Structure 1
Amino acid sequence: MSLHPKVIDLVLDRVWTLLAALDHPERKLPPVIHIAGTNGKGSTQAMIRAGLEAVGKSVHAYTSPHLARFHERIRVAGDLISEAELQAVLQECEAANDGAPITYFEITTVAALLAFSRTPADYTLLEVGLGGRLDATNVVERPALSIITPISIDHTQFLGDTLTAIAGEKAGIIKRGVPVVVGPQPDEAMEVIEDRAMRLGAPLLAYGQQWHVWEERGRLIFQDEQGLRDLPLPNLIGAHQLQNAGAALAALRHLEMGDTAYEAAVTAAEWPARMQRLRKGPLAKVAPEAELWLDGGHNPAAGIALAAALDGLPNRPTYMVCGMLNTKDIAGYLRPLAAHAEALYAVSIAGEANTLPAAETAAQARAVGLVAQEMTSVAEAVTQITAKDSDARILICGSLYLAGNVLRDGNA
């Protein structure tokens, strides 16, 4: 972090130069499944990995950001990268880079690709960090499959402030002749994706066209051109996970993985801080009768999905403990949640330079109709909530960085 400040600079020149100095590890990867989108990338990746591993496939996986430890970003043949291997590949990348300017995300992505290139596996799952077209993961010339999960407004300072512009960046992962699975999209985003896929001759496997997914009588029903599958509902909480499961199933069906993989994708996937129930740790001890949830969603679409997830839970007084970054649409995120919470307790995110001050989060919450007050920490907020309502539902939310702090403190 001290060598490479956490800045975003969307060009690929530095990455290409470093990859060349390392003899192009991106050309030596097992078949790549490349995943872009605004929301659902990580959950979709987790479901695909669960499905592949259930049928004995060995899988590399790259994701970001991490929550508690950096090692979470790099899973080598099924296991989190070891401290020794991480240190070795980072040092090798530093030596090859030879002091040239490069960002934190770029050099750590190259380190992941280097680690993956040296260990046999059946598949490599690469999650885009930001955008797609100029993301450091977009260096694989011919993936086995591309996936674009739902697109919405986010990161406007880097990707543009319209769905059309943002979709253009996400669709930049589509490669000539490579099939692309597409989750549910707004019409203007879908038009951009379809146009690029057509120009590049990339077969489209799109929600509502080549595949469909819905809930029926407490089951997940998936239908594509191969037929219909009746499966359990996803173990990941929230109606939006049905759509993510659909994209994962479309990918696994394209890879012809079979029924064992399809069922494992929806029943065995694990993805922390996505409507994760916290059952142990310091916060659970403070609030033994409360229902504690942790979610890292942070944009308006995530707010809508989170509100729908709360709708699906049994009725219970709900309180929010919220901390956000100053780069986000705070009101857009909170507005759909306002009707679901008794009150919001605002916190700043410890250790994060771009945190929104708790006072400003509270002010934004009041502006959308929430009763709100400032707290110095999540623990203080949980203590105050349970003092007045011991069996409350407490939702800790607003940022993956806040979620990471909660998990790092031993809550799970």
Structure 2
Amino acid sequence: MSLAELDRLLGSFAQRGVDLGLDRSLNVLERLGNPQNQVPIVHIAGTNGKGSTCAFVDAALRANGYRVGRYTSPHLISWCERLQLNGQPVSSDRLLQAVQTVLTAADGIDLTPFELLTAAVWLVLADSDLEIAVIEVGLGGRLDATNVVAQPLVTAITSIGHDHQAVLGSTLGAIAAEKAGILKANCPVVLGVLPSEAETVIRAQADRLQAPITAIEPATVIESGLWQSQGLTYQSGLIGDVQRINSAIGIAILRQLQQQGWILQDEAIAQGLANTSWPGRLQWLDYQGRKLLIDGAHNLEAAIALRQAVDQLFPDQSVTWLLGMLRAKDAQAVLATLIRSGDRCIAIPVPEHDCWAPQELQTWAEGLGAITATAADWAEGLAIAQSYPQAIVFCGSLYLLGDFLQNLQATGY
């Protein structure tokens, strides 16, 4: 019942939507005794890649024997996925209790759903006997509810691309300025491979704050399945060329922690990187006797990374795309990036979300030379896809994948 109550409580706040700002969170946290200051954190922002980077850092720290919390978003199936304590999702009872505590403290303060959940997460982290927490920014950075810790151990910005422009700004420079809001005075910052316009903005902010910068290069491929970065040779538990960047960012974060006195052995770091998992991102699944590649590619930069992975996995082959997208996303740009002439595309809706109609997606896909169909839902779409011999790639929205994975879990597939 606690999961249902969590859904009810957080869902009742949904009409608040996105309303960025720190005052509400800081006021509530002050009433709660400022739990956000009780566990050292690594703070990670970025348009794409921040979740994977969090997963790499978390796994490597745990492989070195540290007790680690990790907070990421969104979830695929349950709110509890967002908060991992030593590699395990927080229990629904414990998270619900923390949410109820926050609601009591927030009397008179109109929190957004993310602010409510994040305040509850700080409470649980403070009461979990942890040595460190890895925190992913929800949206942007400067005014995100996670940006309430005065002095993180390390910050990182994984990537800058066009997403959430209505909230963060229409240019890469404006988006970068929002994400650079997580930088703190004298706190080291790790940068991924960024567009020059964005990097210029972030470096200027780092200079103002005297925040030392480490700018990474993608890991080098030394042989199939084996990468090298910053003196470390390792295998990645996550597939896709983009993980050469995300894993290198993770290693740079860990190197910064080493410089601060954290005891991290390279052998254990490599073990953690190899054991990293991140559901819903370039993930292989078995479904009714067929392999599916699933990925929540929901914006242009994520679509580029997915297309690169597909080209590596299925060189010179057409594929079958099963795809649904939220209306807030640039579906035409994503489709143009993913689809090649001769591919098949089955367009479907995203359940219980404002999404592009399958017929709209179908029209754009046809214009790209795809053989198209529409389906009423993912189950019908997968039935169509399975009648074709090509590899099946199921993508477009994490909410869509979450609905699929929840059904798999419930039916025991």
Same fold (TM over 0.5): yes
2:411 is the counterpart of 1:408? no
Residue by residue over 1:318-346, the C-alpha shift from the partner in whole angstroms, topping out at 9 and shown as x without a partner, is 10010100000111111121127611111
Partner residue in 1 for 2:221: 215
Partner residue in 2 for 1:325: 326
Alignment of 1:12-411 (within 5 A): 12-28=22-38, 30-208=39-217, 213-218=219-224, 219-223=226-230, 228-232=231-235, 234-256=236-258, 257-279=264-286, 284-285=287-288, 288=289, 290-315=290-315, 316-339=317-340, 342-352=343-353, 354-387=354-387, 389=388, 391-410=389-408
Aligned letter for 2:233?
A: D
Partner residue in 1 for 2:4: none
For 1:274, what is the secondary structure of its paired residue? Answer: coil
Change (3 A) 1:90 1:341: farther
| C-alpha distance in 2 between matches for 1:199 and 1:368 | 46
Count of matched residue pairs: 393
Partner residue in 1 for 2:7: none
Aligned letter for 2:232?
A: R
Structure 1 residue 186: Cα displacement = 0.6
Q: Which runs of 4+ in 1 moved over 6 A?
A: none
| C-alpha distance in 1 between matches for 2:392 and 2:255 | 38
For 1:292, what is the secondary structure of its paired residue? Answer: strand
Residue by residue over 1:178-214, the C-alpha shift from the partner in whole angstroms, topping out at 9 and shown as x without a partner, is 0001111011111111111111010101124xxx622
For 2:81, what is the secondary structure of its paired residue? Answer: helix
Aligned letter for 2:213?
A: L
Aligned letter for 1:350?
A: P
Residue by residue over 1:46-72, the C-alpha shift from the partner in whole angstroms, topping out at 9 and shown as x without a partner, is 011110111111101101000011100
Partner residue in 1 for 2:3: none
| C-alpha distance in 2 between matches for 1:50 and 1:246 | 14
Aligned letter for 1:361?
A: L
Residue by residue over 1:240-285, the C-alpha shift from the partner in whole angstroms, topping out at 9 and shown as x without a partner, is 0111010011111222222123212431000001011112xxxx12
| C-alpha distance in 2 between matches for 1:68 and 1:312 | 29
Residue by residue over 1:292-339, the C-alpha shift from the partner in whole angstroms, topping out at 9 and shown as x without a partner, is 111012111111100100011144541001010000011111112112
Q: Is the 8 A contact 2:72 2:138 kept in 1?
A: yes
Q: Is the 8 A contact 1:320 1:341 kept in 2?
A: no
Structure 1 residue 78: Cα displacement = 3.5
- Give aligned-pair identity as a percent: 37
5+ long unaligned stretches in structure 1: none
For 2:53, what is the secondary structure of its paired residue? Answer: helix
TM-score by length of 1: 0.92
Partner residue in 1 for 2:6: none
Partner residue in 1 for 2:20: 10
For 1:125, what is the secondary structure of its paired residue? Answer: strand
5+ long unaligned stretches in structure 2: 1-9, 259-263
CA RMSD of aligned residues (A): 1.6
Residue by residue over 1:226-252, the C-alpha shift from the partner in whole angstroms, topping out at 9 and shown as x without a partner, is xx22222x1211100111010011111
| C-alpha distance in 1 between matches for 2:19 and 2:152 | 24
Q: Does 48-57 or 249-258 show the bigger shift?
A: 249-258
Structure 1 residue 361: Cα displacement = 2.0
